[in-house]
Amino acid sequence: MNIIVCIKRVPLTQEVDLEVDDSGKKIKEDALAYVINDWDNYAIEAAVQLQEALGGEVTAVTIGNEDDEEVLRRALAMGADRAIRIDPGDLVLDGYLNARILAKTIADLEYDLIFSRVQSEDHNTGMVGVMLSEQLGLAHAAVCNGIEPEDGTVKVRVELEGGIDEVSRVQLPALLTIQTGINEPRYVSIMGIRKAKKKELKVMSLEDLGFAAEDLMPQTLIEAVFLPPETEGAEMIEGNPAEMAEAVIRIMGEKGVTV
């Protein structure tokens, strides 16, 4: 079974003080550390487990600059067979363009399954995987936490709201967006890193894919990024139920809420 996994390198923003840059449209990233997107670890592990059980090849794909090859090397060390990086140059990307570039890259590859993340830790749009399936004309299932290939189909367990799961069968080829917790991603060993250096890592440009400038207009433009305003914090209401209800009604009235 041939599987393509779309992965991404993201800034590590936990426990740091974020600042908006001079353009007012993005955060300052110079001092931030970068890691593989958390959902992508699970997607790679799911692909490698299927490859180990059924044979075939796993190909990791990312859009980014030379520094982004770090996550491809990690995917190769985890067991992927080859990797592809698409260099976007100075192009400003949004979810639509990411999906379009990935679709053009993947269209000529052999695959039974494509794995994408449910979402990325930086933009959190959750749109690229589903849009990619539309670009390629594939059936898809989103937020998958269980996968079982069966005779030209794949039985998937999908996470719904309220702790409910749904089990369905999807015809191959198909695209699945992978949820965290579907497995336990393996430790990247020194031996895996050594083997990764011998595996293929191909670099492609937008020109290699046949894109013209007019083909690459983003559909989403960020007008402003800002930090949430500081507030005074929560007001704790105490007393018996009648007193608390009266206080809530009073506060709502002060805030202009009609009851």
Between strands 139-150 and 3-6, the pairing is unpaired
pLDDT of residue 236: 87
Long-range contacts of 250-258 (CB under 8 A, 24+ apart): none
Half-sphere exposure in the Cβ direction for 62 (13 Å, CA): 25
Spatial distance between the Cα atoms of 111 and 124, rounded to a whole number of angstroms: 27
**Using CB atoms within 10 A of its CB, is residue 61 exposed (0-12), middle (13-18) or buried (19+)?**
buried
DSSP 23: T
Q: What is the pLDDT along the chain (259 residues), one digit of tens a residue?
A: 999 999 999 998 887 888 889 898 888 888 889 999 999 999 999 999 999 999 999 999 999 999 999 999 999 999 999 999 999 998 888 999 999 999 999 999 999 999 999 999 988 888 999 999 999 999 999 999 999 999 899 999 999 988 899 999 999 999 999 999 999 999 998 888 888 888 999 999 999 999 987 888 888 888 898 888 887 778 889 999 999 999 999 988 888 887 6
Provide the whole-model pTM.
Answer: 0.85
Residue 67 in tokens: 């520094």
Contact 83, 57 (CB under 8 A): no
Name the strand (E) or helix (H) holding 62. Answer: strand 58-63
Q: Write out the two tokens for 122.
A: 């930086």
Question: Contact 116/43 with Cβ under 8 angstroms?
Answer: yes
**Angle (CA) 144 148 149, round 5°:** 120
Q: How far apart are CA 166 and CA 153, in angstroms?
A: 16
Q: Which residues contact 215 (CB under 8 A, 6 or more apart)?
A: 100
Q: Is 206 exposed, middle or buried (0-12, 13-18, 19+ CB in 10 A)?
A: buried
Tokens 């993947």 label which residue?
106
- Using DSSP's 3-state secondary structure scheme, residue 101 falls into helix
Domains parsed from the chain with CATH numbers: 3-215 (3.40.50.620)
End-to-end CA distance of the chain: 60
Cα separation, 104 vs 229, whole angstroms: 41
